[in-house]
Structure 1
């Protein structure tokens, strides 16, 4: 068949990976979908709502607020809760135009090795690169879109490699970043030091400035950053939903009672996405698949307590005043504190198993959820092919380092950024040295679903089990009745 429908994970269980936060009070959360999960009608409704905000003069507030508050909302603890509230306010503005609209996210792990070829960056979605000397966007719903912040100009995109975009961190690296994160600060820094900047600097144009919200891609990108935080929180909701540690932009210890610059409410209001005043959840995508599968998780080196490495920070839970030490989540092995010269894992920690073929039936979803077609979820180049029943090796390309100008503009710690990059470059190198492992982004549609489901509903045991010594317990099953009871609304 020209189109092979595969199971949308949304049909298996709404927000399956994420579970439920403690004390959930939200009866009917709105569902944010990956943009390629939207129907044509849903996409058009979203695009039209954005353009309506612009034509009515309501759009400019968003890039203006981001620009004016940029020194206080980047490179410190407030980064994630502030942007959660910010994109929530944008979504609510869209829903006042059209109540059926929800904010989609862009799972950039699906496009990490060749972002410019993503379907998201085509005329049927958000449009592509800018053209000519002006770099004005000329395709898609925002073609010849005029912006007013900081001054009158066309919406600009200027891909960082001409007509292409350098690679972004793959899902395997995102898995390592997420599992490395034992505190909120770890997770926040992993995002700011990694994919957050890579996407902004890949698209460029308006996206590389602090008025980046001129480009609707900004909101899709930050919805994905928020999803990463959400998944991390709900891996261990008791300890992580209200975990908040670190300092503000002036170096003062943060609390859940801190206010959100230019936005209503306080930090604590944004920690639980299932609270009555927030009330949304995300569908699943390739990123969740990488989190569920036993993807690479190297051990940090064992020589800890280097003078240049900040000690673990206290986390805050509950009432916004009491400081408690963060408890560890469901990690199978204790991590040593990272040292400051690269977080470099030992080579022998990368004991990954090859991908094995399993037989199972894949059913198309019904009316209650979208599905990807082979055209919409193609493996990225270089495509892997089978020869003699085996995968031919495809290698991951690492992203570019964040430039010093970006690090300075976002108030990041340059030493810690470079350490993060060094660690993850070494992870990509180790993955590329594996003989039989095929990175997720290179697999076909059916291969991509394979690590999640086999004939019994058990997670395939062939994906990168060795390092963490994972055993397949009942928690690994997606299709058991107990698991559906746990995860469904």
Structure 2
């Protein structure tokens, strides 16, 4: 087995980085000399996607995937359901990225914006035979895609397993509209953590089933692109107000001890502040969305040599037309006119965009027949809540908010641009 250092680091890259006052100890962390950019899977070129898949398969061959599955499983009860969630998984995903870059220094872990696939998740292009494979066969074994031949060794020898929670399909999960609500309504780290962990995070794991519905879920390559997306949401929320949020951490950590920047990442001697600012220490990465918000007009385009043409974002424009009382209740930043693009998940990415496409793509128009028919997202099962060491009341509150938002938007005859 090849070993590349298992190290944790620090993060948050923003245009206002110099104004941030680090906590004691963090000031010694140097700015990264180079920063890799994590992109949405649908914006990767063919060569970028193939390079990523090759590096991930090499990590599988060297049994790094088994290692990460073991590690996550061993400490699972301390890194979920509390304020350790964001900071620990940020460090874990960065460690995985460093392993991959040991095989190919050009590789960055892409993120999968699962929210835009929320209506029919099983139709996401990520699950095709050209990409990360789909549902398991009769025995639950993934038989196609990059991991189609994977045999895992932890916790016992078995094929990589997926079992969609509705048989051949998955129930609707949380929309860009709901995650935008979470981003705009969360004023503390603890609120954001509860809103994200107990919605799109849990829904993706539970709906995919198989290994993803366990605490050794890093065995499934979907885990990494999913958690890169979870980290992206955290990073964007920080970057909305970097002076206040870069080192904000509150709520309870493991064992009901109050979380703070000096809280040690589970199983390490590294304090939380070492992973809370992108672009510093070992956290030498950023996201294309943060680059775009900081003025790089080409950051979200497939070809950075081609200038983007700014067009009205149909998703954002649609939601801004909601009744004032609905905006005020669910989208305070839209309501008061202070919205930052980093707290707006109403993007122009669509579920059908090909991955690894070097050509042009024309997005389909929203289906008028779906006006006022947003689905309520799936609920997390009692078994999942228990496994995640989550607070039942916290989980059910998020589910109630999601259902209330859908009811309000449907009553307003809102047309989600993501329903086809």
Shorter-normalised TM-score: what interval? 0.7 to 0.9
Compared with structure 1, are the counterparts of its residues 126 and 392 closer, same or farther at alpha carbon in structure 2 (3 Å cutoff)?
closer
Match for residue 67 of structure 1 among 39, 60, 73: 73
What residue in structure 2 maps to residue 429 of structure 1?
407
Taking the TM superposition and a 5 Å limit, the aligned residue runs for 1:230-241 are: 230-241=235-246
Q: Retained in 1: the 8 A contact 2:261–2:272?
A: yes
The 8 Å contact of residues 85 and 263 in structure 1, kept in 2 or not, is answered as no
Q: Which has the larger radius of gyration?
A: 1
Q: Is the 8 A contact 2:142 2:161 kept in 1?
A: yes
Structure 2 gaps, min length 5: 1-12, 21-29, 294-312, 321-325, 339-355
1:83 match: 89
- 2:250 is the alignment partner of 1:273: no
Structure 1 match to 2:190: 185
The alignment's TM-score, normalised by the length of structure 1, stands at 0.67
Alignment of 1:322-333 (within 5 A): 332=336
| Residues 372/165 of structure 1: CA separation in 2 closer, same or farther (3 Å cut) | farther
Q: SS in structure 1 opposite 2:194?
A: helix
Name which of 364, 367, 384 aligns with 2:367.
384
Q: 1:136 touches 1:154 (CA, 8 Å); kept in 2?
A: yes
Distance 1:48 1:422, change over 3 A: same
Per the alignment, in what secondary structure is the counterpart of residue 71 of structure 1? Answer: helix
1:150 aligns with 155
1:394·1:442 contact (CA, 8 Å) conserved in 2? no
The answer to which structure, 1 or 2, has the higher relative contact order (CA under 8 A, 6+ apart) is 2
- CA distance in 2 between partners of 1:110 and 1:103 (Å): 19
- CA-atom RMSD in angstroms: 3.0
Classify 1:330/1:393 alpha carbon distance in 2 versus 1 (closer, same or farther; 3 Å). Answer: closer
Equivalent of residue 221 in structure 1, options 220, 226, 232: 226
Answer whether contact 1:75 1:412 (CA < 8 A) is retained: yes
Contact map agreement 1:235 1:329 (CA 8 A) in 2: no
Contact preservation (8 Å) 1:172, 1:290: no
Task: Give 1:350's aligned residue.
Answer: none
TM-score of the superposed pair, with normalisation by structure 2: 0.77
- SS in structure 2 of the partner of residue 59 of structure 1: helix
Partner of 1:412: 390
What is the alpha-carbon distance in structure 2 between the residues aligned to residue 408 and residue 122 of structure 1? 32
1:116 and 1:165 in contact (8 A); partners too: yes
- Contact 2:327–2:334 under 8 Å retained in 1: no
1:269/1:291 CA distance change after superposition, 3 Å: farther
SS at match of 1:299: helix
**What's the CA shift string for 1:353-392, capped at 9, x where partnerless?**
xxxxxxxxxxxxxxxx9888447x556xxx515xxxxx87
SS at match of 1:159: coil
Question: For each residue in 1:175-227, what CA deviation from the matched residue of structure 2 results, as whole angstroms up to 9, or x when unmatched?
Answer: 11111101000000001111110000111110000000000100011000000
Question: Distance in 1 between the 2:140 and 2:233 partners?
Answer: 31
Partner of residue 41, structure 1: 47
Q: Aligned residues, how many?
A: 354
- What runs of 5+ residues in structure 1 fail to find an aligned partner? 1-16, 301-327, 335-368, 386-390, 444-489
> Secondary structure of the residue that 2:64 maps to in structure 1?
coil
Please say if residues 185 and 244 of structure 1, whose CA atoms lie closer than 8 Å, have aligned partners that are also in contact.
yes
Distance 2:370 2:65 in 1: 48
How far is 1:277 from its partner?
Answer: 2.0
Question: Which structure is higher in helix share?
Answer: 2
Tell me the equivalent position of 1:398: 376
Q: Distance in 1 between matches of 2:67 and 2:152?
A: 11
Do the aligned partners of 2:115 and 2:200 also contact (CA within 8 Å) in 1?
no
Distance of aligned partners of 1:161 and 1:290 in 2 relative to their CA distance in 1, 3 Å threshold: farther
Are the counterparts in 2 of residues 18 and 230 from structure 1 also a CA contact under 8 Å?
A: no
Q: 1:155 to 1:402 in 2, by over 3 A?
A: same
Give CA deviations for 1:311-340 in whole Å, capped at 9, x if unaligned: xxxxxxxxxxxxxxxxx9999499xxxxxx
1:124 matched to which residue of 2?
Answer: 130
Give the alignment partner of residue 329 of structure 2, picking from 296, 299, 303: 299
Please state whether the residue corresponding to 1:281 is helix, strand or coil: strand
Could you give the per-residue CA deviations for residues 71-128 of structure 1, whole angstroms, max 9, x where no partner exists? 1100111100000000000000000011111101100111011100011111111111
